[in-house]
Structure 1
């Protein structure tokens, strides 16, 4: 029914790069239930994120590389309907968790549609799109995941135990988001999308992201130290070392020859290293913070 090109644009495997938020929320959720963990993960990573990817791809109609696809196939009309099918699957599955979680998934999906739909197209506004992506892929997704995992409602957004770590995830995304746009300046400019990276320029993007990464690192250190979790503080710093090292080397290469090193491959390696480091850290943090391993031994 749907062409293989449409399925490719869903970029389901790209959900891996957004998974650290799920693990962080799971590590802090007060109610751990295996069935809820599975359903919340499925809603986000198999349905909601792919739906957003496909919907954005349909309206962007990129000819160059995009996140997760070095050579994206030509967009067809079927992609639009496939993305909506996945959105409905996300809502239907989310309803099995609870109604509040379903409505949160709906809000996330609508905002992601507004990001690329031509009648609104938040993507063409540099600072608004930056803040929207950071807030919804960070804080909003963290709170939504927390609510789904623990069977809570919209009130979780006002809990200090939710909005503080939620804002920490947003700070990380505010630093990484402009870097994901750095190799797409030509196509974004041709389409009329003045992204934040395009506004800042190549070197400005690296400087901007570096400042946010530094702020985020200090914020996470403050958070872990405030919880008297010295082990988390040191493990977090160790996990971030490969990310900082790659970022620094990449920036040095870009300063020498931006035309050669500003490309899809270098950007995706930055995404892979940072996502892997954060996923590993938050998985470790989940087991350590919840003491699940100790409970399983009893």
Structure 2
């Protein structure tokens, strides 16, 4: 029987925060097909990501707040099998597009399992976990979505027009990733997981993320300039403005009282604003880049 606890640990709404990667990939995909679009979206956001969340929760067994759950319920044995079942469904959906796309889902799934599995536990290595999480949730997923949406193979991973924007999504995630760990220091310490935020310290985490956010902004401006999309730059900066404003306010409070403000609520607030602003921007970019609105006379 599937318990309510296990359903909560899937954290399906948390997939919203990874949707910008999908929408960015969708925006530059030349071979749009409604059927493939639906299959890729469902495979990633309704099955693969929740499967990963559930699997990692099963082995982490967190007692304090985690992304999407302020008070995690106790893990039950059915969570493992539920996560595996969702993974299989994701692979079936992927195989309906191509075996190449399905094999990419397999690779992502195995890496995400290795993140928390006790025999490997990538999570306990601060720099390795930071690199791998950002690379696979960003660049790899971007290329995987592009391959699925266009019905292409593994060769897309090294094509510059896919690799470069894919790396931009990894830059975004590398900047935000340590911020998702600032409220988990005590539990990570007890478990022996030397996360990057724990290594950097709370204020060091914010300084590190500040640098990467600035680098990400500059890289995206360069990308749009290279594509001669000057108007898009201003829309992008407008989308980034509320994110940076919230971050700076949060940083200011953290400077005054790190233990109080390096909290779950502030971290989820940052995620929520980032998710809303970036999803809105990349949906707009998709509509503008593909000129779909013009087709309908807008």
Into which bin does the TM-score normalised by the smaller protein fall? Answer: over 0.9
Encode CA deviations 1:188-233: one digit per residue, 9 max, x unaligned: 0000000000000000000000000000000000000010001111
SS at match of 1:177: helix
The Cα of 1:113 is off from its aligned counterpart by 0.2
Name 1:31's counterpart in structure 2.
Answer: 31
SS at match of 1:242: helix
Alignment of 1:158-169 (within 5 A): 158-169=158-169
Name 1:5's counterpart in structure 2.
Answer: 5
Separation of aligned partners in 1, 2:286 and 2:195 = 35
Q: Which runs of 5+ in 1 are unaligned?
A: none
Quick check: 1:274 aligned with 2:264? no
The Cα of 1:296 is off from its aligned counterpart by 3.3
Separation of aligned partners in 2, 1:159 and 1:106 = 21
TM norm structure 2: 0.99
Name 1:110's counterpart in structure 2.
Answer: 110
Name 1:284's counterpart in structure 2.
Answer: 284
Name 1:198's counterpart in structure 2.
Answer: 198
Name 2:134's counterpart in structure 1.
Answer: 134
SS at match of 1:133: helix
Name 1:154's counterpart in structure 2.
Answer: 154
Encode CA deviations 1:91-114: one digit per residue, 9 max, x unaligned: 011111111110000000000000
What count of residue pairs does the alignment treat as equivalent? 298
Separation of aligned partners in 2, 1:6 and 1:158 = 38
Name 2:256's counterpart in structure 1.
Answer: 256
Name 1:241's counterpart in structure 2.
Answer: 241
The Cα of 1:295 is off from its aligned counterpart by 2.0
Quick check: 1:145 aligned with 2:152? no
TM-align CA RMSD = 0.8
Separation of aligned partners in 1, 2:295 and 2:106 = 35
The Cα of 1:293 is off from its aligned counterpart by 1.3
Name 1:222's counterpart in structure 2.
Answer: 222
Q: Segments of 4+ in structure 1 off by > 6 A?
A: none
Alignment of 1:43-192 (within 5 A): 43-192=43-192
Separation of aligned partners in 2, 1:2 and 1:113 = 21
Separation of aligned partners in 1, 2:162 and 2:262 = 36
Separation of aligned partners in 1, 2:80 and 2:142 = 27
Separation of aligned partners in 2, 1:30 and 1:100 = 18
The Cα of 1:297 is off from its aligned counterpart by 3.8
Separation of aligned partners in 2, 1:287 and 1:76 = 43
Separation of aligned partners in 2, 1:294 and 1:178 = 40
Separation of aligned partners in 2, 1:259 and 1:204 = 14
SS at match of 1:82: helix
Separation of aligned partners in 2, 1:141 and 1:231 = 27
SS at match of 2:63: coil
Separation of aligned partners in 2, 1:119 and 1:85 = 22
Separation of aligned partners in 1, 2:129 and 2:146 = 24
